[in-house]
Amino acid sequence: MQFKGTVFRYGRDVDTDVIIPARYLNTSDPAELAKHCLEDLDATFVSRARPGDIIVAEENFGCGSSREHAPVSIKAAGISCVIAKSFARIFYRNSINMGLPILECPEAVDAISDSDVVSVDADEGTITDETNRQGLPGPAVSSVYPGDYQRRWPRGTHQARHGREERIRSEPYDHQDLSHLYPSR
């Protein structure tokens, strides 16, 4: 899966209340939600966003309430994927459920600027800043398509290009073995 688009860059703790304000939660129509996506954070977002564009954000993207409207509004606004240093757990899960590709890659977030054109090859695990003609440090870790990454790297770890071992989310939270949390009686 490949994506290419212009970047909309945001800071940390972008919560679901600014992704889609509560006053629009009386509808579940994706087209209607898209009209109001990020309007409280960036009033020009909807008028500037084009199909295929990419959101890049700092830590804890999608924090706040558990509304599924947030990833739906982003996807319906034409955003091809979201790259962030980290995602709030509930947004992470809702994005998987809604089919919004999300990637965690702190190194890429640090290197990408607003309005850069970025391409993502989720199959190869690469992110390239086309504006600066540079491959970005560290592999992209897809949270939406974990099976692709399980085939390439041992479960839970991989060797980054710069030699350090990093943890990856190899599968959605609800499929992980949590039996150790519930001792048998």
Residue 154 has pLDDT above 90, yes or no: no
Count other C-beta atoms under 10 Å from residue 159's C-beta: 12
The pairing of strands 2-10 and 117-121 is antiparallel
8 burial level (CB within 10 Å; 0-12, 13-18, 19+):
buried
Q: What is the pLDDT of residues 53-89, one digit of tens each?
A: 999 999 999 999 888 999 999 999 999 999 999 999 9
> Do the beta carbons of residue 62 and residue 16 sit within 8 Å?
yes
The pLDDT of residue 141: 52
Neighbouring CB atoms inside 10 A of 59's CB total: 17
Task: Tell me how many degrees the CA angle 51-18-63 measures, rounded to the nearest 5.
Answer: 100
Q: Structural domains in the chain?
A: 2-181 (3.20.19.10)
Q: Is there a contact between 47 and 77 (Cβ–Cβ < 8 Å)? A: no
- What pTM does this model have? 0.76
A 10 A CB-CB count for 155 gives 10
The pLDDT, as a whole number, for residue 75 is: 97
pLDDT at 1: 85
